[in-house]
Amino acid sequence: MRKVLFLDRDGVINEDVNYLYKVEELKFVAGAVEALEAAVKAGYDLIVVTNQSGIARGYYTEADMQILHEEMNRRLTAQGAPILRFYHCPHHVKGNVPAFTRDCDCRKPKPGMLLQAMADYDIDKAQSFMIGDKASDVAAAEAAGIAGYLFDGTNLNDFLLPILQRYEIAAKGTV
């Protein structure tokens, strides 16, 4: 079974600029690269689950978002922190693009993206958790049966390392 660190994207991995889709605007949050590398070294796979209402609003396309994700993963992989998979929700009830203008089960705080990842991969829920910067991220994690942690937006490495240590200690206690 896989141990997975689920991550929101904007505000957790990359700096949150409104409706990020341009590669030239991609900047990682302080400590993000180091945190994700530490998680991988601790045996975690990394999965991103991100609401992308800019697609439904017509600000950018799924192809634009995919280009950004590919570049993000290229940079992270070069630093020892590859993303196993990106899941995204392109929907929003107030969208302008009819194909994506609807309520859905994948938009956080609903757990659809996490549940899909769990269906796609053999994930150990007890050893997996989510980091997000909004209450909706934590709610989605809890609805999917895993712990969720609310990132305070400062330094992801400083935030994540104590959580990884708690999981490592807990895992050793169950052996």
Task: Quote the pTM value.
Answer: 0.96
What angle do the packed helices 112-120 and 135-143 form, to 10 degrees?
A: 50
The per-residue pLDDT for range 14-39, each reduced to its tens digit, is 999 989 999 999 999 999 999 999 99
The mean pLDDT of 37-51, rounded to a whole number, is 98
C-alpha to C-alpha distance for 42 and 169, rounded to whole angstroms:
12
Domains of the chain as residue ranges with CATH: 3-173 (3.40.50.1000)
The per-residue pLDDT for range 124-158, each reduced to its tens digit, is 999 999 999 999 999 999 999 999 999 999 999 99
Q: Which pLDDT score, from 0 to 100, does residue 24 have?
A: 96
Please, what's the b/e burial string for 47-59 (b: 16 or more CB within 10 A of its CB; e: otherwise)?
Answer: bbbbbbbbbbbee
C-alpha to C-alpha distance for 170 and 167, rounded to whole angstroms:
5
pLDDT mean across residues, the chain: 96
Would you state the structure tokens that stand for residue 102, as one six-digit string?
Answer: 């609807």
CB-CB contact of 60 with 95 (8 Å): no
